[in-house]
Chains A and B, each alone.
Chain A
Amino acid sequence: MSTPAPNANGNGNANGHQLAIHVRNVTKTFGTGDARTFALKGVDFDARLGELLMIVGPSGCGKTTLLSAIAGTLNFDSGEIDAFGLPLHTASKQQITDFRKRQVGFIFQSFNLIPTLSLVENVSVPLLINGVRRSEAEKKSRALLDQVGLTGRGDDHPRNLSGGQQQRVAIARALIHEPNLLICDEPTSALDRDTGAKIMELLRDIARKPDRCVLVVTHDNRVFKYADRMSEMEDGRVSRVHETTENIRHE
């Protein structure tokens, strides 16, 4: 199967949908000799603009490796990845760094908030990396913290927040520079059911923007219902891609 690659605005086209991410035959191995492990064995994968796509599968199937490769945080061995018009397989290190800086937001399993910084400062970091002035970055950060339900907590520190609140801060940090691609690695695994549901609702709303794509790696089946599509991985390959069925939503 061949699908046109996305252009700079993510305008590739597959079955009438505009593509954000286009992955073809990507391989990745770790280690050498007898210790060599094939993490990705020729992955084909597309993600559309305006959707929340979940990558699911058992532990060790290559979900996080695929996510890292798409985010430009991990070099892959062969194949092609086009992300929002940037061919990662041919781009320079500087281009990939710029891509991450401007177009990618990250939400991590363990939040990865810097404990010594206030919430405002944590959220400001991507803007500061992008060269925005501190005062302006902090103003925007406070506004976004308000939007994720943390009004008045800007000067607090992460240690004083619950897991759900910390993940909200992480979401604010991921969105502050208005990235096109949101990369979420197990965003609910450290959260209880209700908090996880709220976080997923927030992510689903975020994905509704037409120039955005949200990729979520998870094996938390409680949150499958929030996906627009699901990409199932098995043994380093994408085994099935399907729309989220009503059954799943109902379950």
Chain B
Amino acid sequence: MYHIALKMLIGDRGKYLMLLCGLTFSSLLMTQQCAVFFGLLMWTTSHLRNMRAAIWVADPKVEQVNEIKGMRDTDVSRVRSVQGVAWAVPLFCAVQQTKLQNGNFKPIMLVGIDSATLVGRPPVMLSGRLEDLRLPNSVIIDDLAVQRLGIGRTKPLGLGDTFEINDKEARIVGICKADRHFFGYPYVYSTYDRALQFAPKTRKMLSLVLVEPLPGWTREQVAQQIERETHLRAFTEQKFFWDTIWWYFRNTGIPVSFGTTIILGFIVGIAVSGQTFYTFVLENLRHLGALKAMGASDGLIARMLIVQALTVGIIGYGLGIGLAALFGFAVLDKGMPPFALPYQLPLFTLVMILFICVFAAFLAILKVRKLEPAIVFRG
């Protein structure tokens, strides 16, 4: 009987397409908006992926990775002296101004990494050599900086080109690929010492200390040990990631804004699909009554309705996810808007779409259960 149920569903082209559109739109809206939201949250933690370290040590008042409060240079040595620390290196990280060739200014995220070990280096080099960062005035810029800082030039920024950071000349020795920052600043890497020269002088210039635990020590153990002995704040990479995410949840309107759109997608799904399916059932009530009169049990008709609802739901879900993925492919290359599609997200959308379908089928089943088969004898 299930093929009969499907033919009844698909045969009513108008209703079927409307159901499909409602569920596709709902699935697309929920997936796409969640993906943009997750992408945006990922941008907030870009430092963690662009500099990478097992443990991050910061000022005791720091709550999340984008909140930098300067420490003393001697704090590196204090951290190195903690039991369980294999090595610790300084890191400078702050927003600085660059001057473009046309006279405009652009903010950049200047990262100063330890010149000896190059710990905190960019994740992927696109051109140039990382070791050249030790040459005088040299910097490595990310691909976003190539676009942003190249404005006003006749040809794109490349190796050997120069620009100014706070009125000091910087020469490009490499181009890297880096995750985009939440505020859209391009990443410019330099050595720690040179970064201190680029940046205006302040009393405390050390932004973070990157730490690796000794073998046999867990990250958590070493982080606790650092906090106990230095009274600085030590985050494992994972904790820093989640603390940052939750900070944005608590302190910005982003979750509410995206949450509203996601809920709207769900409501559209419920309203359009639920109502259309219910109308479809109402219009087929006479035929369902005939099936009941012919001996189809309530259970069989309920199963037929569930098959109809789930079929249209799964097709709509597939189309919605497909469109969301196409959107993702289209924007990932451009880097705007943010987009992240972890496997949990399609699962979440599937659960929501199935809920909508089961809800719609449930309403229809309630109606059909009350249906007297004698309805077929009424004119």
Contact = CB atoms under 8 A, between A and B. Distances in A.
B1 A129 contact: yes
Contact of B8 (A74, A99, A100, A117): A117
Contacts of B372: 73-74
B374 A126 contact: no
A68 B308 CA distance: 29
A172 interface: no
Nearest to B375: A73
Interface stretch (A103-111, A205-213, A243-251): A103-111
A73 B373 CA distance: 5
A98 B11 contact: no
A108 B11 contact: no
B295 A130 contact: yes
A22 to B, nearest CB: 20
A126 B295 CA distance: 8
Contacts, number: 78
Nearest to A116: B11
B293 to A, nearest CB: 5
| Interface class of chain B by DSSP | helix
Nearest to B300: A129
A58 interface: no
Interface in B293-313: 293-297, 300
B3 A134 contact: yes
Contacts of B373: 73-74, 100
Interface stretch (B25-33, B191-199, B259-267, B283-291): B283-291
Contacts of B376: 73, 106, 108, 112
Contacts of A91: none
A110 B376 CA distance: 9
Contacts of A115: 11
A125 interface: yes
Contacts of A80: none
A109 B4 contact: no
Contacts of A185: 377
Chain B interface bracket (under 10, 10 to 19, 20 to 34, 35 or more):
20 to 34
Interface string B303-332: 000000000000000000000000000000
Interface string B5-20: 0011011100000000
B377 A128 contact: no
B4 A117 contact: yes
Given A73-B374, A116-B8, A121-B7, A100 B286 contact: no
A106 B291 CA distance: 10
Contact of A116 (B10, B292, B374): B10
A104 B295 CA distance: 9
Contacts of A126: 294-295
Nearest to A75: B372
A109 B12 CA distance: 23
B136 interface: no
B376 to A, nearest CB: 6
Interface in A68-98: 68, 71, 73-74, 94, 97-98
A108 B294 CA distance: 12
Contact of B293 (A106, A116, A128, A134): A106
B379 interface: yes
Most buried by A among B8, B291, B377: B377
A101 B293 CA distance: 8
A97 B295 contact: yes
B5 to A, nearest CB: 10
A186 B295 CA distance: 21
Contacts of A110: 379
Most buried by A among B1, B292, B373: B373
Contacts of A121: 4, 7
Contacts of B11: 115-117
A112 B1 CA distance: 17
A185 B374 CA distance: 11
Nearest to A128: B1
B9 to A, nearest CB: 8
Nearest to B9: A116
B295 A64 contact: no
B377 A102 contact: no
A68 B374 contact: yes
A108 B374 CA distance: 11
A114 B297 contact: no
Interface string B210-245: 000000000000000000000000000000000000
30 contacts: A64-B378, A68-B374, A68-B377, A73-B293, A97-B297, A98-B295, A99-B295, A100-B293, A100-B294, A100-B373, A101-B295, A106-B293, A106-B294, A108-B290, A108-B376, A110-B379, A112-B286, A112-B287, A114-B290, A115-B11, A116-B8, A117-B4, A117-B8, A121-B7, A125-B1, A126-B295, A128-B1, A129-B291, A129-B300, A130-B295
Interface of A: 64, 67-68, 71, 73-74, 94, 97-102, 104, 106, 108-110, 112, 114-117, 121, 125-126, 128-130, 134, 185
10 smallest A-B Cβ distances: which pairs? A116-B11, A101-B295, A73-B373, A74-B374, A68-B374, A100-B295, A73-B374, A112-B290, A64-B377, A114-B287
